[in-house]
Amino acid sequence: MKTVWCLGSINIDLFYDVPHIPAPGETLAATGHSSGLGGKGANQSVAAAKAGAKVHHIGAVGQNTDWVIERLKSYNVGTAQIAISDDPTGQAIINVASDGENAIVILSGANRTLDEAAVSAGLAGAAPGDILLVQNETNLQIEAARIASDQGLRVLYSAAPFDADATQQVLPFTDTLLLNEIEAEQLQQTLKQSLFELPVKNIVVTLGPKGARWISTQSRDVFETPGIQVEAVDTTGAGDTFAGYLAAALARDFEPAEAMAFAGRAAALKVTRKGTADAIPTLEEVEVFDP
């Protein structure tokens, strides 16, 4: 199995249970509160590690948040490439409604202070064929993708939070592009190109409860896996769980349909639990999951 290297955000997640997502100007009383490890990058690293992959995380946190790094270590995520910044560790305020939907406000903090030399040094130990997993909650995702591509890594780009300009710049270095259905439509409208015309070998489009679609732009083959019907209690982190499990599947050279089914089962199980990184299921839990 190849190694997964994840350049990504690390946040402290602050959860508030609310009856519904607040409307503009509305004040709601929360019915519960919790906190934990989060950030799209950290979630994806933890998911890949829980899926059985060897994972190294490249990122940054602020002073006096040693527990964040220790929590990553507890999930067998390598943390030697995490820098300590003068800016605060990123934070996310997450309102979770009774139907499982969420609304999130993010403070980027240390996540936007990455140094290109440090990213290059962090990837120095990577080998050709390894996976670089990257998303849009840090700076330097474009530079990291270029460095990784030059070293022969396979770049899996989870293009969220969606930014059309950033996505366009990362695409030339990307092997597999991961989008949800809305992001895929936005990208096609912005670039005025179909997904088949993009300069990337493979595209995975997640379809929420309907499953996922794998597109090979070279062979023009399309594979779909159906969704798994579960009772959702918290959709936060479901996409990150899918991304991390997909990265682990690619590191194990799964076939497209097998990789999507593997990631889809993990994401479906995740939405039945409240929380983010701490609530991501383990490989053993996914293997026995019987919805």
| Residue 253 placed within a domain | yes
Phi, psi of 71 (to 5 degrees): -65, -40
Q: CB of 40 within 8 A of CB of 241?
A: no
| Residue 143 placed within a domain | yes
| Residue from 104, 112, 151 nearest 132 by CA | 151
| Residue 193 placed within a domain | yes
Res 99: pLDDT: 85
| Residue 23 placed within a domain | no
Mean pLDDT computed over every residue of the chain: 94
Q: CB of 91 within 8 A of CB of 11?
A: yes
- Whole-angstrom distance, CA of residue 34 vs CA of residue 256: 37
Pick the residue with more confidence: 102 or 279? 279
Q: Which of 240, 253, 278, 290 is catalytic?
A: 240
Res 149: pLDDT: 97
Residue bearing tokens 């299921």: 281
| Residue 27 placed within a domain | no
- Whole-angstrom distance, CA of residue 234 vs CA of residue 146: 35
Q: Please tell me whether the peptide bond between 161 and the residue prior to it is cis, using omega within 30 degrees of 0.
A: yes
Q: What is the DSSP string of 50-84?
A: HTT--EEEEEEE-TT-HHHHHHHHHTTEEEEEEEE
Tell me what percent of the residues of the chain surpass a pLDDT of 70.
100
| Residue 105 placed within a domain | no
Res 18: pLDDT: 95
| Residue 47 placed within a domain | yes
Report residue 101's pLDDT band, with 50, 70 and 90 as the boundaries: confident
Task: Give the domain CATH number at 142.
Answer: 3.40.1190.20
| Residue 31 placed within a domain | no
What is the per-residue pLDDT across 43-87, written as a single tens digit (0 to 9) for each? 999 999 999 999 999 999 999 889 999 999 999 999 999 999 999
Res 234: pLDDT: 84
Angle (CA) 100-241-14 rounded to 5° is 55
Res 1: pLDDT: 87
Report residue 180's pLDDT band, with 50, 70 and 90 as the boundaries: very high
Structure tokens at 198: 């993009």
What is the pLDDT averaged over residues 3-27?
Answer: 95
Q: Number of folded domains in the chain?
A: 1
Report residue 290's pLDDT band, with 50, 70 and 90 as the boundaries: confident
Which residues, including other chains, have CB under 8 Å from residue 28's CB and lie 6 or more apart?
18, 19, 20, 22, 95
What is the pLDDT averaged over residues 172-180?
Answer: 97
What is the pLDDT averaged over residues 134-152?
Answer: 97
Q: CB of 155 within 8 A of CB of 6?
A: no
Give pTM, 2 decimals. 0.93
Q: What is the DSSP string of 124-163?
A: TT--TT-EEEE-SSSS-HHHHHHHHHHTTPEEEEE--S--
pLDDT higher than 90, residue 128: yes
What is the pLDDT averaged over residues 115-134?
Answer: 96
Res 102: pLDDT: 85
240 is catalytic: yes
What is the per-residue pLDDT across 182-233, written as a single tens digit (0 to 9) for each? 999 999 999 999 999 999 999 999 998 899 999 999 999 999 999 999 998 8
Q: CB of 49 within 8 A of CB of 55?
A: yes
Structure tokens at 237: 């982190």
Q: CB of 204 within 8 A of CB of 212?
A: yes
pLDDT higher than 80, residue 160: yes
Res 59: pLDDT: 97
Res 209: pLDDT: 87
* Greatest Cα-to-Cα distance within the chain, rounded to the nearest angstrom: 53
What is the pLDDT averaged over residues 167-172?
Answer: 95
Structure tokens at 111: 């996540």
Res 233: pLDDT: 87
What is the per-residue pLDDT across 248-282, written as a single tens digit (0 to 9) for each? 999 999 999 999 999 999 999 999 998 889 999 99
The domain containing residue 46 runs over which residues?
A: 4-11+38-89+111-288
